[in-house]
Amino acid sequence: MDECVIIVEGKTDKERLLRVLAEPITIICTYGSYSIEKGEQLAEKTQSASEIYLFTDEDYSGKKLRSHLMEDFPDAIHLHTQKMYGEVANTPLEVLAEILERAGFAVNVPTQELE
């Protein structure tokens, strides 16, 4: 994929995605908050992206953040973890690899979870 950007909530989410991605992808953290200023900054950082992906947690704050991001990025592609994991950071690496692979990303399937 070329010039794709994945927007996530936090640093741990970003680190976990980087562990399974087998291609260079820009991952931007919102750190769980959103404002007009942050939206403008994200728009600047993503203006050359061919595709934008939103990968937020399946909890209240993640869904609220996703709704704000949807307003500024209506064409973004949504990635979801399973509700049983709740957060991207709690999702097993194998499951993250499956989600990203289904979205068309090249992934390294981890053989074991290292904490």
- Supply the pLDDT for residue 71: 93
DSSP 87: S
Domains recognised in the chain with CATH numbers: 4-10+20-102 (3.40.1360.10)
Closest CA to 82 of 95, 68, 69, 66: 95
Beta carbons within 10 angstroms of residue 29's beta carbon:
15
Mean pLDDT of 8-26: 95
Closest CA to 13 of 25, 37, 30, 1: 30
Mean pLDDT of 29-46: 90
pLDDT tens column, 59-94: 999 999 999 999 999 999 999 999 999 999 999 999
- Supply the pLDDT for residue 33: 82
pLDDT band of residue 32 (cuts 50, 70, 90) is: confident
| pLDDT surpasses 60 at 99 | yes
- Supply the pLDDT for residue 112: 61
Contact yes or no for 77/51 (Cβ under 8 A): yes
